[in-house]
Amino acid sequence: MPNMYAIKDHSLEKHLFINRIVAAFIVISLLTTGLIARLIYLQIVGHEHYSSLAKDNSIKIVPLVPTRGMIYDRHGKVLAENTTSYSLEIIPEQVTNMDDTLQRLQTLLDVSNEEIEQYQKARKRQKRFVSSPLLISMNDDQLAKFAVARPYFPGVDIHRQLVRHYPYGDLAAHVVGYVGRINEAEMKDLPIAEYRGSTHIGKLGIESSYESDLHGKTGYAEIETNVQARLLNTLNEVNPQPGSNLYLSLDIDLQKTAYDALGSFNGAVVAIDIKTGGVLVFVSRPGFDPNPFVVGISNDDYEALQSNENQPLYNRALRGLYPPGSTVKPFVALAGLEYDAITADQKLFCPGYYQLPGVTHKYRDWKKGGHGAVDMNQAITESCDVYFYRLAATLGIDNMVSFMQKFGFGEKTGIDLVGEKTGLLPSREWKREKKNQAWYPGETLITGIGQGYLQVTPIQLAKATAALANQGKVNTPYLVDKIVSSHGTGSGPVSNSYNVPVKTENVNSVIAGMVNVVHSARGTAKVLNRNLNYQIAGKTGTAQVLGIKQNAKYDENSIDFKYRDHALFMSFAPVDDPKIAVVVIAENGGHGGSVAAPIAGQVIKQYLEEHHEN
Amino acid sequence: MKTETRHEQFEAPSVLGTFLRRLHIDIPLFIGLVLTSMLSLVILYSAGSQDLDVLIRQIGRVGLAFILMIILAHVDPYQFKRYATILFGIGIILLIAVLIMGQIGKGAQRWLELGFFRFQPSEMIKITTPMMISWYLAEYSMPPKAKQLLVAVILIIIPTLLIAKQPDLGTALLVASSGAGVLFFAGLSWWIMGGIVALLAALTPIIWHFMHGYQRDRVLTFLNPEADPLGRGYHIIQSKIAIGSGGVYGKGWLGSTQSELDFLPESSTDFIFAVFAEEFGLLGCLGLLTLYLLIIARCLYIASQTQDAFSRLLASSLAFTFFVYVFVNIGMVIGVLPVVGVPLPLISYGGTSIVTLLAGFGILMSIHTHKKFR
């Protein structure tokens, strides 16, 4: 390369370069002249045209907001609808004397001081020509009075709008969700054209996860208006397309039964159609009334909901994390059979406790004195802890985890709601990563009876229960069954399903134990078996809220209600042709058998009776 | 160096002039930049809904950018030449890092999170690409031969594609044109340039095929904004109304109704020229364009005074890129070019673009005030 310098002709290069500088300046000048020519065209030739467009007396493009789609349950009962409401709005620019106008409105329509104050605040944030509401929802009396007096109130007008309404209130708030005013953060992510003119957006539940279906397509009209912004003429109109109607798999009557059956307990009930994965019941109690959120809930009310110790805003069915307790035993039993860690007939002796070799710590059974020698059927029926300690020790944590993962533990179920929790299926890797500790053998034992780190959501447990009833076929649970638009009917989310390879005889052995939970005299949920003309398979569970010391005794009556154990029940019916899987979690309910099982029993009864008629 | 400083002292009679020369600042260019930045604050106050916070934040950024400019003006241009390849290489690696991180996250990713601020590698590459090409071509005699052209084109295409993939079409365009600028000033034959234009025209359908949906929409909207008046055409229609209604004299400072009425979106960033044109009219626009042309002319003058190939190529291409910036933004706002995300240089709200621009001017000042370099 050095010899390259030798043949460089510096003066020639400089000459060439200066030429290029001149050429560049000419090109730049020409292009700038082009810009100026365009500016002259816009600002001199087109000035009048654009000025009139910019002025009030001009053609404006106004968005035509589509009607939001309705939400129905599986029988066509309305869960979310649009009702008409009238607001009183003021355009400050067109009012000559604001104080006087407000005063006269106050006497005429009986407006409260608080409403006036709120309006004054809102007005200051807005531009003078923007209409903002004094009254959000006018009653008939106010409507009639203002209609007569309207000519005396220039700049004040009644606006008609559709307001979202949820007839079932708190019963299905966690499923259906609600719409609320679009906030600034949401505005940034929205397609601006589609939401020009829209004021509300789905914030929670189906309203949120199906926002794009429910919203519809915004249309627009080119209108000519006069100085008072009154419509003179519509020049061109593209109609909006209303949002799609959604039909849920939810059965609102069954939902109500489950909600009422939970009574005063906080908790969740989830029922799934075993064949399809369609969610029939999705209760999280306590609920809350979604309707105030639509018009804008007051700060005090929202604060009250947030600070309520029962946490009504918390979707327990979707996001509640509970130790599953003994409800995992059927899955651990099936894992034991599948991995040949045990046979169904093999008996293990239960003295009332279990000790790991070389360790003094006693892992206790719930029954003092023990169950004696029990086979798998008895172990499930009586919920023998020692049997499952020993089975878990034989299986090992790795096998247990990899088997339960196939049934969806430790993973989101994929239900069509936003905000689902994954739960927690602990493993060696998890503990190493999160706690930087080795996995202890004792932790395998308590995982085997559903305690320790293991955490499930109600929807997860329901999905796994349905899969067990379905001989290992796992369906993704879903809420939206049909999406009906003006173009036709579409289905909801495609329910993914896959098969966990399990032997039918193994599944049937486990189910036989679960049947005895309900139908045998020793079963932990035998309260259910009165007057049944079908069989229910189930498993009770009790989840500890409070850790109990080695030699202490758990006495239900002596401890605070909030530290009482959670009552769980997982079940499906009928056993010969499984249709419905139900999971119940009653927080601080104490016993799965006496509290949770009857709630599931009511849901199953109502569903099967209704199905029988069909 | 010492003798040179003394020499310049003789030329500069005023105390301030001496001081600025000591600072390695080119006075005409400096005055132009300060004027434009002050004008920017005046318009921003109006376009940003008269929010003082917006103004204070922008003053902070502009201040930092000016400090960076002065620092770069002190660097001997020999150092730019020496580190051109390394800086270019780092820029490319960071671009790839951003792409990979964008794939791990989701959607468009343009910056690296550096704790206290966000760094956009594509901004750095706007300067290092022309630096790299200048370094490469300066080794050979002008005009460049076919082989050197090929290498240069590859060096331009790599960062351009990486940025286009982010996807950031506006910046990709600026990087490509900064590289192309170097080739032009290196004396690329007019025939080849004509050929490339013809080739691009022939390639248009293929480019179209590889465009993102939203990029296609922008082009379609540009060709016929009325087709989608609520959505993608909205910006162009509203900005034309704003500019046109400004007339010859404008509606006066703070008199913009279109941006006030929220009809004009992005009024303080990419579409700020529309607010300016509405408030200050055609006369104001002519004034602003004159200011820009004076800055560009001064830069080209600086380029013409250089003694070595690297400096002259780098200086002239930086000047040229600055013009492309102005032209693409104003062209977009007045509806003669498609909407690509390019801010109005030195005027639009935002920190990244002004830092890069003033860094470029810092390099130009360095080249001019260290003339004895060879």
Secondary structure of residue A279 in the 3-state scheme = strand
B279 falls within a domain: yes
Could you say which DSSP state residue A150 is in?
G
Partner-chain residue, chosen from A8, A36, A193, that has the shortest CB–CB distance to B230: A193
**What confidence score (pLDDT) does residue A508 get?**
93
Confidence band (pLDDT; 50, 70, 90) for B307? confident
| B300 Cβ neighbours under 8 A, 6+ residues apart | A21, A24, A25, B316, B319
d(CA B72, CA A257) in angstroms, rounded, equals 75
B351 falls within a domain: yes
With tokens 């627009």, the residue in question is A220
A52 falls within a domain: no
Instruction: State the angle between helix axes of A47-54 and B234-246 in degrees (0 to 180), rounded to the nearest 10.
Output: 110
| A180 Cβ neighbours under 8 A, 6+ residues apart | A200, A201, A203, A293, A294, A296
Is B33's pLDDT higher than 90?
A: yes
**What confidence score (pLDDT) does residue A391 get?**
93
A206 falls within a domain: yes
Token couple for A481: 């069954």
Interface list for B 203-262 with A (CB within 8 A): 228-232, 234, 240-248, 257-258, 260-262
- Start-to-end CA distance of chain A, whole Å, equals 92
Q: Are A220 and A61 in contact (CB under 8 A)?
A: yes
**What confidence score (pLDDT) does residue A504 get?**
92
CB atoms within 10 A of CB A502: 21
A-chain residues near B217 (CB < 8 A): none
d(CA A183, CA A159) in angstroms, rounded, equals 22
A387 falls within a domain: yes
B-chain residues near A17 (CB < 8 A): 142, 185, 187, 303-304, 312, 316
Q: Are A219 and A240 in contact (CB under 8 A)?
A: yes
d(CA A89, CA B370) in angstroms, rounded, equals 67
Judge residue A291's burial from the number of C-beta atoms within 10 Å of its C-beta, 0-12 exposed, 13-18 middle, 19 or more buried.
middle
Q: For residue B253, give its domain range.
A: 2-80+187-369
**Where residue A162 sits, what CATH number does that domain have?**
3.90.1310.10
**What confidence score (pLDDT) does residue B285 get?**
95
Token couple for A506: 């193994």
d(CA B346, CA B273) in angstroms, rounded, equals 11
**What confidence score (pLDDT) does residue A556 get?**
57
Please answer yes or no on whether B187 and A17 come within 8 Å at the CB atom.
yes
Q: Nearest-CA residue of chain A relative to B185?
A: A20
**What confidence score (pLDDT) does residue A258 get?**
94
pLDDT tens digits, A365-406: 888 888 888 999 999 999 999 999 999 999 999 999 999 999
Please state the pTM of the whole predicted model: 0.61
pLDDT tens digits, A331-364: 999 999 999 999 989 998 888 888 888 888 888 8
A565 falls within a domain: yes
Is B114's pLDDT higher than 50?
A: yes
B285 falls within a domain: yes
Confidence band (pLDDT; 50, 70, 90) for B9? very low
pLDDT tens digits, A145-156: 888 888 888 888
Of A168, A186, A184, whose CA–CA distance to A176 is shortest? A168
A-chain residues near B228 (CB < 8 A): 193
- 3-state helix, strand, coil split of chain B in percent (to 5) is 75, 0, 25
Amino acid at B146: A
pLDDT tens digits, B86-113: 999 999 998 888 888 765 544 455 666 6
A-chain residues near B244 (CB < 8 A): 42-43, 46-47, 49-51, 53-54
Please answer yes or no on whether A32 and B232 come within 8 Å at the CB atom.
no
Query: How far, in whole angstroms, is CA A496 from its chain's centroid?
Result: 19
B63 touches chain A (CB under 8 A): no
Secondary structure of residue A12 in the 3-state scheme = helix
Residue where a domain terminates, one of A217, A248, A279: A248
| B67 Cβ neighbours under 8 A, 6+ residues apart | none
A165 falls within a domain: yes
Partner-chain residue, chosen from B244, B261, B304, that has the shortest CB–CB distance to A42: B244
Is B181's pLDDT higher than 90?
A: yes
**What confidence score (pLDDT) does residue A3 get?**
44
Is B44's pLDDT higher than 60?
A: yes
Residues A423 and A363 in one domain: yes
CA dist A396 → A336, A430, A437, A580, A608 (Å) = 10, 15, 17, 32, 39
Q: Nearest-CA residue of chain B relative to A24?
A: B320
ipTM over 0.95: no
CA of B312 to nearest chain A CA: how many angstroms apart? 8
B167 falls within a domain: no
Q: For residue A467, give its domain range.
A: 252-483+490-613
Residues A242 and A260 in one domain: no
A8 falls within a domain: no
Please answer yes or no on whether B260 and A196 come within 8 Å at the CB atom.
no
Q: Are A295 and A137 in contact (CB under 8 A)?
A: yes
With tokens 């020229």, the residue in question is B273
Is B6's pLDDT higher than 80?
A: no
| A337 Cβ neighbours under 8 A, 6+ residues apart | A343, A344, A376, A503, A506, A509, A510
What mean pLDDT do residues B139-145 have?
A: 85
Looking at the 3D structure of chain B, how many domains does it have? 1
A367 falls within a domain: yes
Is B341's pLDDT higher than 90?
A: no
Partner-chain residue, chosen from A54, A63, A194, that has the shortest CB–CB distance to B245: A54
Residues A190 and A267 in one domain: no
Interface list for B 112-151 with A (CB within 8 A): 139-143
- Start-to-end CA distance of chain B, whole Å, equals 13
Residues A528 and A544 in one domain: yes
Strands (E) located in A55-176: 59-64, 71-72, 78-90, 132-135, 156-165
**What confidence score (pLDDT) does residue A300 get?**
83
- Point out the residues of A that are catalytic: 326
Q: Which residues of chain A have pLDDT under 50?
A: 1-6, 57, 227-228, 548-551, 613-614
Omega prior to B167 cis, within 30 of 0: yes
Residues A404 and A531 in one domain: yes
B-chain residues near A40 (CB < 8 A): 282
Length of chain A as a residue count: 614
Residues A383 and A495 in one domain: yes
**What confidence score (pLDDT) does residue A56 get?**
52
Token couple for B139: 């080794």
Strand A245-248 with A71-72, pairing: parallel
Residue where a domain terminates, one of A226, A248, A270: A248
